[in-house]
Amino acid sequence: MAGATFEQVRSIALGLPGAEETRTWGTETAFQVAGKMFAVAAPEARYATVKAAPAEQTDLVAADPDTFSVAPTTGRFGWVRIDLSRVDPAVLRELVVTAWRSTAPRRLTSSYDAET
């Protein structure tokens, strides 16, 4: 069975240009770029949330509602809640990078694209 961990979320997020780790909402870890969040998780939690476009959120939830759901609080903006115990690590990577890409300044995304 697929599955990912908080440490994988952290590694993916902090491997992106300009990404920083901060604390938010008490016990959760937020990953930000240019002062804006693109992912949130907690070491002891089974879930992570990532920024997504509303249409992407709809598609993910429809395709696999056991793994993806509308995030509490931020879901109305398209954020997706991911069950880390069920998500394929490659899919997690894609979602975190997409969330970062939609948040990061163009100069950072251009730099990332030039390196990959």
pLDDT in tens, 67-79: 999 999 899 999 9
Output the pLDDT for position 1: 53
**Which tens digit of pLDDT belongs to each residue from 30-66?**
999 999 999 999 888 899 999 999 999 999 999 999 9
Share of the chain above pLDDT 70, in %: 98
Architecture of the domain defined by 6-105:
Alpha-Beta Complex (3.90)
**Which tens digit of pLDDT belongs to each residue from 2-30?**
799 999 999 999 999 999 999 876 778 99
Q: What's the CA angle centered on 24, arms 26 and 90, to 5 degrees?
A: 115
Paired strand residues for 69: 81
Question: CA-to-CA distance for 116 and 107, rounded, in angstroms?
Answer: 14
> What residue segments make up the domains of the chain, in order of their start?
6-105
CB distance 80 to 70 below 8 Å: yes
Question: CA-to-CA distance for 52 and 17, rounded, in angstroms?
Answer: 19
